[in-house]
Amino acid sequence: MEDILYAPWRDEYVTNKKIQGCVFCHVSSHASEDEGLHVLYRDEHCFMVMNKYPYTPGHFMIIPHAHTDKLEELDPKVWLHMSALAQKGVRLLKEGVRAQGVNIGMNLGKAGGAGIAEHIHMHLVPRWERDTNFITAIAQTRVYSTDFERLFQKIKSLIPQYI
């Protein structure tokens, strides 16, 4: 017998059109679509976007506009700017959504575990004590405990206060 996990909120993912080319370059070059693409913030160097496949609620990424898969070749000014945004993002997650901890990371290259290896990006993953459970390890499934769109709107509303 097969277990079925109903997830009607995934319908948009299944039926939505696929972006051709680099998804991050698409987001970078389509500022007029920020709301639908779940962009939290953008400036001349980077943008911050909610992760569509989050590890935990509130997981977002900081992404340079420059298309590169080589951190070592990123303009140092852009890297420092990303780092400053990460500091502010951690404060936003801790104070704004009451995260008890935050994982920050970059997976560089396919061998390094990057899901989108062609364009570097930094993950900020809010964490709470006891936010892990058996289902991830046993069923290779994640449980998202809150409404994605509502949390996106909440974090976006906090941007002017923290970024």
Domains annotated on the chain, with CATH: 22-162 (3.30.428.10)
pTM: 0.83
User: Annotated catalytic, 121?
Assistant: yes
Name which of 50, 63, 54, 81 is nearest 152 in CA terms: 50
Whole-number Å distance between alpha carbons of 96 and 99: 8
Q: Which residues touch 127 (CB under 8 Å, ≥6 apart)?
A: 56, 99, 100, 101, 102, 103
CA–centroid distance for 103 within its chain? 12
CA–centroid distance for 73 within its chain? 22
Per-residue pLDDT of the chain (163 residues; tens, 9 = 90+): 455 554 555 555 555 667 789 999 999 999 999 999 999 999 999 999 999 888 889 999 999 999 999 999 999 999 999 999 999 999 999 999 999 999 999 999 999 999 999 999 999 999 998 766 544 544 455 555 678 899 999 999 999 999 9
- The single residue of 38, 45, 59, 121 carrying the catalytic annotation is 121
Name which of 66, 59, 64, 31 is nearest 46 in CA terms: 64
